[in-house]
Structure 1
């Protein structure tokens, strides 16, 4: 006899697990969740999105003071140690845990702590840290176990000078120099943060460009901004070995170069948390990076077992994971009220931020779509001048004939917020998805939203 029996068991309480559990519970299913950590929220809440963005904001506030002329004129300068900046992040994490715990309590969803292991297609055994075991039976399962940083076996991550994106949030000292290996989203975000703390940052990228999937103009703007602020970027480089010394690390590159710094942040790739779950017992086989293959309905090879979030690979965004969880539960319920997850905007929290949605110029050119471009430079906006955040731009790509909005690309302060205005219009059915909306709508003044009107008019002026 099982210790617990549910309609649905969700494994993991990050955004994907939460979305699945809440959607199913609100539609009458008996739901239980399994969480191996002591507190709910998953990596997103404890070592990922929430603490890293809270840390970024703490750094941003310190920068605002130190770059403000009114404070400089009075000889005021703030130099907050890194561990103190982390305290702000920890405070936000605690609030998020309490908030999310309330969701499960109010919806009568019990949390069973421990690691889940499939025994057969309808049973998982949950082993807690103290060794106690519980058998849980369910009709459906949603695997939302997330991912962790990929760690090459040749690198000694126990060394106090070597970090990954999980452990960097435990850094208990200031560093004067940092090597970031891996120029994906996580690498670029942390490189940006530490450069804003005046550390000497070297960013090593195995590819030709930073974040190659972005629009080329945005990539160029980010690269220019990084270099303008003193960051050293090395493209098309791969590590050969990492040598730990008494006062830091030396990264040996295959090109023969040697780079030395106080610390190394390894940010090259992630691995899905699918190992040790007994997935072979249910006919589910993860790929070489631990990602679980799913179909368009987020079902694994076992149709009653779904997988969502980072454990299935890209886009590996908290926002997408939550919606994937909701969709998975709706699908098993036979409901049509939640659509498949599409048109997910990117949100990259470098300084300045980047956010984009839709096609890039390169993609539209390859597809031979007749398009035009509308720009709005933030330095020309009154709101950006008032706030002193004048670096950046909004770029709209639209069809020359129909004026349909095809792509939105934003670089600058609050880009991840600004993108949503364009997103709402882009996803409207024709003919309501054109840039005419921005021309014919009155925006508050002064606001950053005004950038849409400026960009739309700029684009229309290019037509002939």
Structure 2
């Protein structure tokens, strides 16, 4: 029986453990911080639970045109203003759900016969893992296959040390008992934008410090523009082309000093300036595992490291820091190591979502890839304001963008900006993964009325017969 030792109990680790056990291996997971890892305990599950509350508040506040009246909202008002948040109750729910999800992971591993060892693991060679046990003592585990899935942690600025009270990382915000009166969010990437939008909805006065000329600089430019416009309309202050130099605690508040000398004051500051891998003190050199200049473990498309029999998955590899990618890397690693059928990781098939309101979901090649000539494709963008279901629901922001190969009509990418875009992207993801044509996508029935109807409509607009270069509607 093949002995598999997995260091790290996050998505990359526990998904790999389940696959390895199902393939007949003897599996042991070394877990330090809690099963589910940061994705379940401090990142994805908690943040999206917080976002779910914010989403409801946004819907209620903007439901005046649907005839909804709450409290003191004026009869002729388009907005409902008398909505408040109990942040202590919100955070209690967030932590309870994260704990429950972690327990669910533990039960799944137990059902498959996976042994879980509580402690910190490090490589003692290419075929051994030394564990410092959580309850004291040590244990050395022999392994035919090792998977490293140790994740990453929030990056800290040199002059912005978190104190867990006023200066916070994203895994510390759930300890707040009171809603920040004025929250300064440093960083306008995915994490910063999600938290800025959520706290703005919850009732905080939010200032978003963005070092680039727009929020979400790595996302589709049209989508990012929609989100920034929505942020501004909802009362958020966005400081573009601004970089934080220093964050200081002053009494019951914080002072954020920008590199151009400007000062932004607030009651709290949230740092969202990226992540660094948890790869120090793992004994990587001892095992012959190489890292890049940033400390991320180098892997190939089947998750192999430079050491024979040693694989790595998840944020510690820096490949694409998504829970879904971590899980896929872990599953691919075990399939490869244990001789099962395996398909190498294809990043062009990854579906990703930014959980702002509205959400941004993407898959496949991007608009930037088209515009730069990296891929030969044509595309179309349909605003949701034309969609009947969107009109019924009072949706005013968002669009569907679809891209395909000229001539063949094979779908190569898509962008959805809409409420629950994370759900709507799936048919586009299936089309990209299965190399469906726009005709095949268009011929599948959609419900009328539905937001997904706009996906079929976009596919019809890209019908291959006689196609030259469809215009980009706006």
Q: Is the 8 A contact 1:308 1:324 kept in 2?
A: yes
SS at match of 1:114: strand
Corresponding residue number in structure 2 for 1:434: 437
SS at match of 2:144: strand
TM-aligned CA deviation for residue 222 of structure 1: 1.8
Distance, in Å, in 1 between the alignment partners of 2:147 and 2:450 is 42
User: Quick check: 337-346 or 301-310, which moved more?
Assistant: 337-346
Are 2:370 and 1:364 aligned? yes
Rate the CA distance shift 1:65–1:240 in 2: closer, same or farther, 3 A.
closer
User: Quick check: 381-390 or 157-166, which moved more?
Assistant: 381-390
Distance, in Å, in 2 between the alignment partners of 1:32 and 1:370 is 46
- For residues 381-412 of structure 1, give each alpha carbon's deviation from its aligned partner in whole angstroms, at most 9, with x where no partner exists: 23223333342111112234322223201111
Rate the CA distance shift 1:229–1:73 in 2: closer, same or farther, 3 A.
closer
Are 2:119 and 1:114 aligned? yes
Corresponding residue pairs, total:
456
1:155-304, aligned counterparts within 5 Å? 155-158=160-163, 160-304=165-309
Residue of 358, 365, 378 corresponding to 1:352: 358
Residue of 134, 152, 159 corresponding to 2:157: 152
| CA RMSD after TM alignment | 2.2
- For residues 236-295 of structure 1, give each alpha carbon's deviation from its aligned partner in whole angstroms, at most 9, with x where no partner exists: 322222221002111111111111111111110101111122222112243453311112
TM-aligned CA deviation for residue 459 of structure 1: 4.3
Unaligned 5+ residue runs, structure 2?
74-81
User: Quick check: 447-456 or 323-332, which moved more?
Assistant: 447-456
Q: Is the 8 A contact 2:126 2:308 kept in 1?
A: no
TM-aligned CA deviation for residue 454 of structure 1: 2.2
Rate the CA distance shift 1:118–1:387 in 2: closer, same or farther, 3 A.
same
User: Quick check: 171-180 or 220-229, which moved more?
Assistant: 220-229
Are 2:450 and 1:447 aligned? yes
Q: Is the 8 A contact 2:226 2:397 kept in 1?
A: no
TM score, norm. by length of structure 2? 0.90
Residue of 49, 57, 69 corresponding to 2:44: 49
Q: Is the 8 A contact 2:380 2:470 kept in 1?
A: no
Rate the CA distance shift 1:162–1:317 in 2: closer, same or farther, 3 A.
same
Distance, in Å, in 2 between the alignment partners of 1:257 and 1:96 is 43
Residue of 85, 90, 102 corresponding to 1:85: 90
Are 2:107 and 1:72 aligned? no
- For residues 123-144 of structure 1, give each alpha carbon's deviation from its aligned partner in whole angstroms, at most 9, with x where no partner exists: 2221133332222111110001
Corresponding residue number in structure 1 for 2:53: 58
Q: Is the 8 A contact 1:48 1:165 kept in 2?
A: yes
Are 2:415 and 1:409 aligned? yes
Distance, in Å, in 2 between the alignment partners of 1:437 and 1:202 is 45
SS at match of 2:356: coil
Detail structure 1 runs of 4+ shifted over 6 Å in the superposition. none
Distance, in Å, in 2 between the alignment partners of 1:88 and 1:389 is 28
SS at match of 1:264: strand
User: Quick check: 333-342 or 93-102, which moved more?
Assistant: 333-342
SS at match of 1:189: helix
- For residues 169-220 of structure 1, give each alpha carbon's deviation from its aligned partner in whole angstroms, at most 9, with x where no partner exists: 2222111111111111111110110111232212122233333332221122
Distance, in Å, in 2 between the alignment partners of 1:210 and 1:444 is 34
Q: Is the 8 A contact 1:215 1:361 kept in 2?
A: yes
SS at match of 2:143: strand
